[in-house]
C-alpha cells in the first residue's frame, strides 16, 4: 500500500503570499499560517486531515500519509479504489493542476497480521547493511529496526505498539514492513546506466 507521500505542485501564488502577510489566510479551505526566519516569511503551512500543506511562493507541497488522510489511521488496508478516491478528493480541493504534481518522496508498505516481536529482533542485516534500532519515548523503547541508505529507508517494526503509543488505540498484532524512497533518485537511476 502507498502511505506517506511528498507531492510538489505548481500554483499561482495567492495574493497573501505575494504580499507576505504576517497572519493566517484561507487557501482552498485550508487555514495557512506563516513561518518566519529572521523576520521574513519563508513559507505558509496548514493541516488538512493529517496532511501538511505548505506553500513556498509558487510551489505547494502536500506531505504525510494519504492513508491516514483517507481513513484517519494507517494500520488497516488502503485499496487501489481508495487511492483513486483520495486523488479525486485532492483534485476537487486543489484543482486539475494536482494531476500534474510531482511525487518527490514516497513510502510503501504492508501490514502483516503477526506478532512483530517474533520478527524484528531477529533482523540483523540486509545484504551488506546492518539494521539499527527504532526507538520511541523517554525510555527509548526499541519497537523496530531500520536500514537507512542515501535515498531510501527500509523499516520493520511493531505497528500494534506504535498505534497504541501514538493514537491510544488497540489493534491486533501487526508487523509493518515499509520502504521510504526519494523518487527523484530512483527515477535518475532508471535512466542512467549502472557503472
d(C-alpha 19, C-alpha 58), whole Å: 13
The confidence score (pLDDT) of residue 169 equals: 82
Report the C-alpha gap between 84 and 73 in whole angstroms. 17
Beta bridge partners of 156: 145, 177
> Rounded distance, CA 54 to CA 45, Å?
4
Q: How confident is the model at residue 137 (pLDDT cuts 50, 70, 90)?
A: confident
Q: Contact, 7 vs 61, CB < 8 A?
A: yes
Average pLDDT over residues 65-92: 91
Check: CB of residue 67 under 8 Å from CB of residue 3: yes
Q: Is residue 166 pLDDT above 80, yes or no?
A: no
Q: How many CB atoms lie within 10 A of CB 182?
A: 17
* Section 102-114 average pLDDT: 91
Round to whole Å and give the CA distance between 161 and 110.
Answer: 16
* pLDDT tens digits along 6-51: 999 999 999 999 999 999 999 999 999 999 999 899 999 999 999 9
Amino acid at each position: 500500500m502507498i502511505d506517506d507521500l511528498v507531492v510538489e505542485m505548481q500554483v499561482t501564488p495567492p495574493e497573501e503570499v505575494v504580499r507576505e502577510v504576517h497572519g493566517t489566510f484561507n487557501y482552498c479551505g485550508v487555514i495557512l499560517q506563516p513561518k518566519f526566519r529572521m523576520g521574513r516569511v519563508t513559507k505558509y503551512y496548514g493541516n488538512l486531515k493529517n496532511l501538511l500543506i505548505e506553500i513556498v511562493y509558487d510551489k505547494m507541497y502536500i506531505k504525510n500519509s494519504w492513508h491516514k488522510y483517507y481513513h484517519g489511521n494507517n494500520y488497516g488496508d488502503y485499496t487501489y479504489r481508495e487511492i483513486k478516491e483520495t486523488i479525486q478528493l485532492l483534485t476537487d480541493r486543489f484543482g486539475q493542476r494536482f494531476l500534474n504534481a510531482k511525487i518527490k518522496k514516497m513510502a510503501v508498505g504492508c501490514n502483516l497480521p503477526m506478532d512483530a516481536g517474533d520478527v524484528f529482533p531477529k533482523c540483523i542485516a540486509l545484504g551488506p547493511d546492518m539494521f539499527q534500532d527504532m526507538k520511541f519515548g523517554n525510555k527509548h523503547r526499541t519497537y523496530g529496526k531500520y536500514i537507512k541508505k542515501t535515498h531510501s529507508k527500509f523499516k520493520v517494526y511493531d505497528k500494534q505498539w506504535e498505534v497504541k503509543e501514538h493514537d491510544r488505540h488497540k489493534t491486533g498484532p501487526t508487523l509493518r514492513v515499509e520502504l521510504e524512497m526519494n523518487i527523484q533518485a530512483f527515477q535518475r537511476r532508471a535512466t542512467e546506466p549502472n557503472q
